[in-house]
Each structure stands twice: as structure tokens, then as C-alpha cells.
Amino acid sequence: MIKKGIKIFVSFILLVLLYLVFNYIEVDKYNDTSSNYSFDSTLYEKYAFAGEHFPFNVKSKRRKFERELKKIARHSTEMAIMLRNAELWFPIIEPILKRKGIPDDFKYIAVVESGLQSEQISQRSAVGFWQIMKGTGIEFGLHVNNEIDERYNPVKSTYAVCRFFNYTRKYFGNWTNAAASYNMGMPALIRACKRHKTNSYHDLKLNNESSRYIYKILAYKEILEHPDKYKLKKWPRKFKLNIRLFPITRTVKNVKIWCKQNGLNYKVVKKYNPWIIGNSLTINDEIKRYDLMLPK
């Protein structure tokens, strides 16, 4: 009985040792700085989010950013698709951000949230480019009913989140916190600032997701702005996409029939207007007009 107990104990010790060795190898491999995606610390001053520089003079901050770069750049196929999505949708998002006084870097939040895939749905039922919850979307002024869900509308949803970004920027006093609050929520960020007696995102002790969020945005910005540097091939484009708006000012009882009558391809209409979730569009006192996005 004693010998059996000793054997079990020895086996347990061996398992623990194997686990520790395996994790050491994995961590060492993960922190390998010989990768093609290593961060040039001598150029840290050029890396900024919305004009606000990161404290990359601190080694731990540089390593955090480098880890995000490695993770993202490792998935070359996924990044190639994301690069194509950026070419399609950034020209739609960028003018809206500029018009509302939001720094251009905020477009990378949509990349982090959804990969610029309008049909993306999270486990918590957040949808669209900006991953907006139903209640939040209604609070933002978006219409959500059995005919339409404007959280899927890249134009209207971008205008909606701009109101949030401007409000949180005014409240926190900087763009970095405004972006962080989009991930973790204003109440949680306010509590964190009070708990740590600082208004600097970089000095807060947050959960893993929130502490990585801004670094992930910056990593996507770096890779999408310099795809060649990270050996990413741009998606082959046979044409340059131009979007035109097709106004609807009268109720459409059947979208499929209406498309046929107006010489429009129903599948194309649905592809560029995923916010149409029903088969009718009602014009009333609340909604006086719809603008369909169509490629020229």
C-alpha cells in the first residue's frame, strides 16, 4: 500500500515537472524577439493613438505591443481579407469620423471589434462593424425593428458611435480613455481611475482584454498601414469600388419586387445594406427616408 502511494506521488511530481517545462518552452517561444515582427524600440516615439503617444520608454509596454503585433501578423490569410475589407469600407468610415471631429485612428476600433465584417455577431448579440448591443443601439438613436437594424448600417452606426466617442473624450479628457471606455464601458473605467487614482489608461491595472485593447488597436494600425513590412499581400482588386446612394422616400411593401421594378440586383442590395433584415421598408413620421448603398 505504501509502495503504491509512493508511485502515485512520484507520478504526480513528474506530471507537474512536465507541465512546468512545457509552459516554459511555450512562454519562451512566445517571447522570441527574433521574429520578423519584432518591434523597433528606437522608433517608439512615432507610435501614437489619435496623436497621444504611448509610454514605450517602459520596457513592459513595448513588449505588450510587440506581443499584439506578433499575434496579429501571424495570421496572414486573415489579415489579407481584413486588408481587403479596409480598402472597401475605410473610404466610407473615414469622412464620417473627420466630419464629427473624431481622430482617424478610431477606424481601427471597428477592425478590432468586427474585422470590418458587418454581419459579425458576438456571443452577447452585439452586431455590425462596431459590435453594438441592441439596447445601446437604440440609446445611440439607431432604429431596430422587424424591418431594419441600423446597427448593421456602416454609415448610421458610425455616426452613432461618434457621439459616444465625443462624449467620452469630453468626460475623460483624452482620446485613449475614450477608446478604452468603448471596450470596458464608462462606469468600469471611471471606477478603475478612482481606484488607482489616475486618469492614464497606461497606469491602470485592468483585466487582460481591457489592458490589451488599445495596444491591439495600435498593432492593427501598424500592420494595415504597412502591409509590405509584414509580408502581407494586398487583395487583388479588379475594380475600384465607388458607392452611390439610392434614396427611398416612399414605403416599399416588398423589397424583392421593388428591386426588380427599379432594375436593381436584390443580392447586391442585401450585400451592401445588411441593415435590411425584413422584406419591407416603411416610410413614416419617424423614418422619412432610407438611403441604400450601392456600388457604381
In a domain, 31, yes or no: no
Single residue among 230, 257, 275 that ends a domain in this structure: 230
What is the CATH number for 217?
Answer: 1.10.530.10
- Both 79 and 50 in one domain: the answer is yes
CA distances from 130 to 79, 117, 161 (A): 18, 9, 8
Rounded mean pLDDT for each run of 10 residues along the chain, 296 residues in total: 56 54 38 45 70 85 88 82 86 94 96 86 83 92 94 94 96 96 94 93 92 94 87 58 85 96 93 93 92 87
DSSP conformational letter for 150: G
Q: What is the pLDDT of residue 25?
A: 37
For the chain, how many structural domains are there in total? 2
Distance between CA atoms of residues 64 and 122, nearest Å: 25
Q: Are residues 196 and 268 in the same domain?
A: no
- Do 196 and 282 lie in one domain? The reply is no
Q: Do both 110 and 187 map to the same domain?
A: yes
- The pTM for the full model equals 0.80
Domain that holds residue 260: 243-295
Domain membership of residue 187 (yes or no) is yes
DSSP annotation of 147: S
Contacts made by residues 179-188, CB under 8 angstroms, sequence distance 24+: 179/49, 179/50, 179/106, 179/109, 179/213, 179/214, 179/217, 180/210, 180/213, 180/214, 182/109, 183/209, 183/210, 183/213, 184/209, 184/210, 184/213
CA distance 246 to 243: 10
What is the pLDDT at residue 175?
97
pLDDT at 120: 72
Whole-number pLDDT of residue 18 = 53
Does residue 13 lie in a domain region?
no
